[in-house]
Structure 1
Amino acid sequence: MSTPTGAPVFHVVVLAGGRSSRLGGTPKAGLRRDGRTLVELTVDAVQGAAGVVVVGPADLAIPAGVLRTREDPPFSGPAAGIAAGLAALEALSEADWTMTLACDMPEVARAVPLLLAAARAAPEADGHIGVTPEGRRQPLVALYRTEALRAAYADQDPTNRSVRSFTHDLLLQEVTVGEDATADVDTWDDVHTFRLS
């Protein structure tokens, strides 16, 4: 995956390992729109990334050229997923930035260019976090300076902890994104709203 000249060099951690309990255990990552799964749509949204890792189960189909890993133990939360993703990305050449995305946001592609533009405009920040027009921060639609994110996770057990518990001390600039960009699929009503199957 190539990075255009002048654009931030970034890796991506895609979280796809939840229980989908409100969908009766139906894996969200495998839901489809127009023949593409949610995990495929999420990877499509970051075509400019230097590397991508999907954190999810071994039986989840992922696009070619994408790394795979799993949080340990499984289902131990998004913070543990990010920690596993960071460890897997160590196999690649270093990138200045690391984006974190949940795979259950069908319109997240709308937020990606806004985060990258913010990094170009304010490269000194520890990161840039997607915020809805109502002011709700979404740490799984965010672009963190890799060094700062790794330092926040260093020597800590992420099991069953929130992402915010790791990032609350980082200097994060808020990036307003559309409500639809961070809307996630939690219920069967959401599945129908987003025209998934």
Structure 2
Amino acid sequence: MSLDSFAAIVLAGGRGSRLGGADKASIEVDGRTLLAHALEAVVDAAEVVVVGTQVPTDRPVTFVREDPAYGGPVAGLLTGRDALFGSFATVAVLAVDMPRVTTTTIRRLRDAAEGRDGAALTDPGGHRQLALVLRTAGLDAARPPLEEQHGASLHSLLAPLDLAAVPAHDREHRDVDSWTDLRDLADPGPE
């Protein structure tokens, strides 16, 4: 797998229901929006697709929405995959609500993906997080029919793929699903 050039898909189209319907992409952490953090993490990508509501950004990206809306991470990921203009051997996938993922995280994932179908960031319990690097051919082969994508499980989609587990450093695995998560993310105390 050539890791020289890759694309990135940022998943930013959720409902934010545990946040009272707030748009996660626009929530600020450390003085910047979650979307700005995500775009910085994938700055090395040759092309970036954001699956979510279009907002101004500091770099050129393609915005798309899954149809039907709020189809979940599989529908968002595959919508993002279909929106890529270029042809890439690998694609980085990142949930917009993981502000501690950095370019270094993405590089570690890319390195670990070498010779495999991809790599996934894991939390201290070994659970996969929505920070991945996937071989595009493997993703395409695992793709379910269109009528099965809405609400599909990401775990099921990725099950046939050989993914390296990349343990998170510090708080890389932390996401913002609730206001408590946001408060805890800002707290520099021990994990």
Partner SS for 2:124 = coil
Contact 1:8–1:96 (CA under 8 A) maintained in structure 2: no
Aligned partner letter, 2:143: Y
The within-5 A match list for 1:81-100 is 81-89=76-84, 91-92=85-86, 94-100=87-93
Distance 1:169 1:127 in 2: 11
Separation in 2 of the partners of 1:149 and 1:179? 29
**CA apart distance, 1:178:** 2.5
Cα separation, 1, equivalents of 2:144 and 2:137: 10
Contact 1:54–1:62, Cα closer than 8 Å, also in 2? no
SS of equivalent residue, structure 2 residue 172? helix
- Residue 135 of structure 2: aligned partner: 145
Equivalent residues in 2 for 1:1-197, closer than 5 Å: 8-58=4-54, 60-89=55-84, 91-92=85-86, 94-109=87-102, 111-119=105-113, 123-138=114-129, 140-153=130-143, 155-156=145-146, 157-178=148-169, 180-195=171-186
Q: Tell me, in whole angstroms, the C-alpha distance in 2 between the residues paired with 1:173 and 1:154.
A: 22
Query: TM-score with structure 1 length normalisation?
Result: 0.86
Q: Is the 8 A contact 2:13 2:51 kept in 1?
A: yes
- How many residue pairs match? The answer is 184
* Residues 107, 181 of structure 1: 8 Å contact kept: yes
Structure 2-normalised TM-score? 0.88
Deviations 1:70-126 (A, max 9, x none): 11111110100001000001x22x11111110000110115222102213xxx2201
Root mean square deviation of aligned Cα: 1.9
Q: Percent identity?
A: 39
Note the C-alpha offset of 1:32.
Answer: 1.4
